[in-house]
Amino acid sequence: MTATGLHPRFVLLLCFISTAACNTFAFTEEPSDRGGRADGYCSRVLRAQSNRKEGNSEFRLRVEGDPESYHPGSTYRVTVTAASPSYFRGFTLIAMKDGAEGDKDEDYAGNFQIIDEEETQFMTNCPPAVTESTPRRRTSIQVFWTAPPSGSGCVFLKASIVQKRIIYFQDEGLLTKKLCEKESLYGDTTDKPLLDCCACGTAKYRVTFYGNWSEKIHPKDYPRRANHWSAIIGASHSKNYVLWEYGGFASEGVKQVAELGSPVKMEEEIRQKGDEVLTVIKMKAQWPAWQPLNVRAAPSAEFSVDRTRHLMSFLTMLGPSPDWNVGLSAEDLCTKECGWVQKVVQDLIPWDAGTDSGVSYESPNKPSVPQEKIRPLTSLDHPQSPFYDPEGGAITPVARVMVERIARKGEQCNIVPDNVDDIVADIAQEEKEEDDTPETCIYSNWSPWSACSSATCEKGKRMRQRMLKAQLDLSVPCPHTQDFEPCMGPGCSDEDASTCMMSEWITWAPCSVSCGAGTRSRERYVKQFPDDGSICTLPTEETENCVVNEECSPSSCLVTEWGEWDVCSATCGLGMKRRERMVKMPPADGSICGAEVLEVEKCMMPECHTIPCLLTPWSDWSDCSVTCGKGLRTRQRMLKSPVELGECTEELEQVEKCMLPECPIDCVMTEWSEWSECNKSCGKGHTIRTRMVMLEPQFGGDPCPEAIQRKKCKIRKCNRGQGNSDEKKRRKEQREKRRSKQGRAEGNSEHPGCRMRPWSSWTECTKICGGGIQERLMTVKQKIKTAQLSSCKDRKEIRACNVHPC
């Protein structure tokens, strides 16, 4: 116990809550004499043997948008910044409920999510807190914070800042932000709230995807050439993370899967969720979409679940399609009896991601503006839909997914006793734990573990390798040939109570001189003191000589410090690494800087073992094969190991779809008609020709040109005699018109001797687009006795309509 009678486990938390408490403790901790669990509750705390400064306004914690309250379950961007010219080297950020002491899980509010793993990480010995990944000078950091569920009350976001040997703690001020829950205007919108899981231990599952989308089962408009399932992407996760759900909006990652079949952004979103995700689920794409199981095995993947991350979600694109997918959303594998589900089998129908408004497999790209909510497809969506059924029947499933439990680990607490299947499955798994390699995969023995990549108490990893000698059954995938596990430098075991954990060295400060010989220094600080109360004797500062320019003359130049070493060029054995620096100031006399700006040295990686499939990393994706519309892009990798070591069956090239803006479509016209007759029988006149629009321009295509042309015509001169003759002809026609005027008024007919009814209305056009026809009729009302039989008949007129393209 400390001098104040409080358990040392709560020293750090009290520093967040009470500055006075930190003065009392003076950043020392005595060994605990109380039993019980220590891990997970910030029992090993970040402290420093230094002075503490409070009430400083150089640093600020800010929640984006500066809200005064939070919406339960919403995510906010939290930043910690330093005002210029200040900076900080380390920090700690935590969120606690109002009045909490920090000795149990319920005291922590919400969940932090890492944005940049190179900048921030979860604190090793205090999982709810976020700290720096690498100590160095910085002016800002940012993380995401997801607010707790409804009923959590007020929350304090608190930060501590490490600047050289000074720690800033703030209770009330710029490094503390208080947010209280905002009352809901619409009540609880969750139809089926997810219950907390009460199962114990962990469970391991295998998910297998059976696609039955084929021309035989779904014949309407089936795309024969490009049908496929995209790469499957998913995760086992907590209830605080939603990959996708009906009634929700698709994230950018879901959109890229739905429209392009690319899982890259979706995987990035999943990995950003940190501890909300236990396993990332990935399976390869399937081209074509369906093949018999004796030709191609159904893709499968294994994943694990635990009490907090007991949900499983995944999705895959049905392609080609506008934005259609299948998958599971938040499938709960935890039972009400505190056990783990044995098996889930579910038929899948496609759902619409709400990002594209296309109605058929190969509809042109048509973004939904505004974006719509995710919904299942139905058989009444659109007549052009391949799933359309005028009677509104159920859509035939396009896939089936099977999730099978293959193992349980740790002590179980299910209320219902295990049946025979449970016991047999667990025994079989225990027998396999030593080596789960399929019998059809023949490997060499594992190599010894390599040295840890970290020589300090920061987390690193080490590697071992084995060689795949033979694959007897190509339909059965062989596990990996490389194995990794976390590690730390010598003497850094979590079980070692006398460990003094130090931060990484901060990068070297600039040389003390700008020219010639000088000195430079770098620092580190204590991240964890030994539990036995001993004092850390490891140095926190070191100094070395430095030379900027050996000759200080007008021809000398000023260069920056050397940058960090690049990654070793080899993954095993001997390789090369390099580092660079830049010319900061050229020589004053205008000469060329003679200082070295590139340095190369050898590097040694773990010993190489005979592995046929030693591959380079994937290259960047190529440009899309088209400049507009739908195309393909590729990426490659190369075989690094000699061919003599054996045949490598790993794929060396991958192809995926890409989508660029729609291609412009120019206006299309019919051919010109023949020139009409001249409108005059003599003298000057004109003649015309016309053409029609067959296809309107789209997506910025060339506009339609003129549709009518006119030119002059002159047959012959009009002479006087001819003029008199024409004049007589016109007078005769006028007399005939006057004689038939009475008949036209009654019958609206140009037939002499017939009285006709007026023209009927035009009928409906026979087509809505692409060119149809309309008709109208004029019928005989009364026949005059003197009229000829052949000249008195019903009349019909026909004209074109809706000539625009479909």
- Percent of the chain residues past pLDDT 90, beyond the cut: 16
3-class DSSP state of 401: strand
Contact 593, 559 (CB under 8 A): yes
The mean-pLDDT minimum among 184-198, 309-323, 632-646 falls in: 184-198
**Sign of the dihedral through C-alpha 120, 122, 124, 129:** positive
pLDDT digit string, tens, across residues 42-82:
544 433 333 444 445 788 888 876 778 887 777 777 888 88
**pLDDT beyond 60 at 152:** yes
Which tens digits make up the pLDDT trace of 488-535? 765 554 444 456 777 777 767 777 776 777 888 887 777 666 655 667
Q: Kindly report the CATH number that applies to the domain delimited by 202-409.
A: 2.60.40.2130
pLDDT tier, 39 (very low <50, low <70, confident <90, very high otherwise): very low
- Extract the tokens encoding 59: 């640093």
Q: Do the first three CATH levels of 59-181 and 202-409 match, i.e. the same topology?
A: yes
Dist CA 45 CA 124 (whole Å):
10
Per-residue pLDDT at 193: 46
Q: How confident is the model at residue 695 (pLDDT cuts 50, 70, 90)?
A: confident
CB-side exposure of 234: number of CA atoms within 13 Å?
A: 31
State the chain's mean pLDDT as an integer.
Answer: 77
More confident position, 529 or 655: 655
Comparing 3-12, 581-590, 767-776, which segment has the lowest mean pLDDT? Answer: 3-12
Amino acid at 265: K
The answer on pLDDT for 353 being more than 90 is yes
User: Is the per-residue pLDDT at 24 higher than 50?
Assistant: no
Amino acid in the structure at residue 692: M
| 224-228, 414-418, 448-452, 738-742, range with greatest mean pLDDT | 224-228
Among the listed residues 48, 29, 42, 36, the one whose alpha carbon sits nearest the alpha carbon of residue 124: 42
Q: Are 211 and 229 in contact (CB under 8 A)?
A: yes
Confidence at 747, pLDDT banded by 50, 70, 90: very low
Every domain of the chain and the residues it spans = 59-181, 202-409
Class of domain 59-181: mainly beta
Query: Picking from 248-252, 367-371, 462-466, which range would have the lowest pLDDT averaged per residue?
Result: 462-466
Instruction: For the beta carbon of residue 704, count every other beta carbon within 10 angstroms.
Output: 17
| CB distance 264 to 654 below 8 Å | no
More confident: 668 or 23: 668
Q: What are the distances in angstroms from CA 617 to CA 308, 570, 620, 638? A: 34, 12, 9, 8
DSSP-derived secondary structure for 425-479: HHHHHHHHTT----TTEEE-PPPPPPPPS-SSSS-EEEEEE--EEEES-TTS---
pLDDT for 45: 41
Model pLDDT, residue 210: 93
Distance CA 462, CA 607 (A): 12
State residue 462 phi and psi, 5-degree precision. -130, 165
Scored b (16 or more CB within 10 A) or e, 111-127 reads bbbbeeeebbbbbbbbb
- Sign of torsion over alpha carbons 211, 345, 190, 311: negative
Nearest to 452 by CA among 481, 496, 503, 486: 486
Q: 784 vs 671, which has greater pLDDT?
A: 671
**303-336 pLDDT per residue, tens:** 999 999 999 999 999 989 999 999 999 999 998 8
Q: What is the pLDDT of residue 313?
A: 96
How buried is residue 339: exposed, middle or buried, by Cβ count under 10 Å (0-12/13-18/19+)? buried
Q: Is the pLDDT of residue 698 over 80?
A: yes
Q: Can you say whether residue 110 is alpha, beta or left, with left for phi > 0 and alpha for psi between -120 and 50 degrees?
A: left
Residue 675: predicted pLDDT? 84
| Tokens representing residue 454 in the block | 């970290």
In this predicted structure, what is the pLDDT of residue 253?
94
Q: Which two tokens stand for residue 405?
A: 């439990």
The predicted model gives 210-222 an average pLDDT of 90
Within 10 Å of residue 755's Cβ, how many Cβ atoms? 20
Polymer length in residues for the chain: 806
Q: What average pLDDT does the segment 739-743 reach? A: 51
pLDDT in tens, 96-147: 888 887 777 778 888 888 888 888 998 877 788 899 888 888 888 888 888 8
Choose among 549, 476, 491: nearest CA to 515: 549
Query: What pLDDT score does 573 carry?
Result: 72
